[in-house]
Structure 1
Amino acid sequence: MDMKKLLLIGLMTFAAPVAAEEETQGKSLMQQGVEMFLRGLTDEMEPALEDLKALTEEMGPQMLEFFSQMGPAFGELLENIEDWSAYEAPEVLPNGDIIIRRKPDAPVKENEDGTIDL
């Protein structure tokens, strides 16, 4: 069950019976119920968040290095390709090269002087 559905069910469960309740110790029963629900949800998610934090700390420097090296090349590629729908998904060759093929039925754009950029 996804998180939004779980949160909605939890809120509906706590909201319906206590909507008209008086406040108790400064907080309504509805507020107390929602706080308990959210605290339980946080406790359940905490291990996954810790794992994500550890992964981020481990891979962060590697990702920064990758983007610093590849960023300019990606920027140049984005400037040169106007219509991404004219290309197939990238393909990784056995030697590690990555190629992006133009779809066979994609229109060929000619330059002003009648030449075609390959």
Structure 2
Amino acid sequence: MRRLILALCLALAAGPLAAQTGAPEDAPKDGGDLREGADLLEEGARRLLRGLLSEMEPALDEMGRAFTEMRPVLEDLAEMIGDIRNYHAPEKLPNGDIILRRKMPEPALPDLPEGEEIEI
């Protein structure tokens, strides 16, 4: 996690360095040293992010395989549940069980014979 935060800080710091418009008085007129420093910082951030990605790649591959294996079960569950709007928010019971209560459908209005109106 520290590496990720460091990489983000370096990447964010590289942007303003490259965006500076004025050159300091002791810098060469062509800005070569500043540009070279910004390029080195950018390259360092790139390498750090690549290293983090290569470390995370096995875990991401394993997660992808797990989701692939779970897909049929999740599709069956989604088919059983139907529209999630038919349920109240999940509740956690004191024993640790989690329940999803189905909303009760509202009673249908009675059909009125033709010609009758409801007084309001």
**Range class of TM-score, shorter chain:** 0.5 to 0.7
Cα-to-partner distance string for 1:65-108 (whole Å, 9 max, x where unaligned): 1022222312442x333266x313567x76xx753246xxxx75
Query: Stretches of 4+ moved more than 6 A in 1?
Result: none
Identity %: 18
By relative contact order (CA 8 Å, sep 6+), the higher-ranking structure is 2
> In structure 2, what is the equivalent of residue 66 of structure 1?
70
**Following the alignment from structure 1 to structure 2, what is the Cα–Cα distance between the partners of residues 46 and 70?**
33
Aligned residue type for 1:110? E
Instruction: Show the counterpart of 1:109.
Output: 105
1:44 Cα deviation (Å)?
1.7
User: One-letter code of the match for 1:35?
Assistant: D
CA contact (8 A) 2:90 2:98 kept: no
Structure of higher CA gyration radius? 2
1:49–1:108 Cα change, 3 Å = same
In structure 2, runs of 5+ residues without a counterpart are 24-28, 111-120
In structure 1, what is the equivalent of residue 100 of structure 2? 100
From 63, 82, 85, the counterpart of 1:82: 85
How many aligned positions are there? 100
Asked if 1:7 corresponds to 2:11, the answer is yes
**TM-score for both structures, normalised by structure 1:** 0.53
Cα separation, 2, equivalents of 1:6 and 1:101: 48
Distance 1:71 1:90 in 2: 24
RMSD, aligned α-carbons: 4.1
Give the one of 53, 57, 71 matched to 1:53.
Answer: 57
Task: Give unmatched runs, 5+ long, in structure 1.
Answer: none
Residue identity in the other structure for 2:108: E
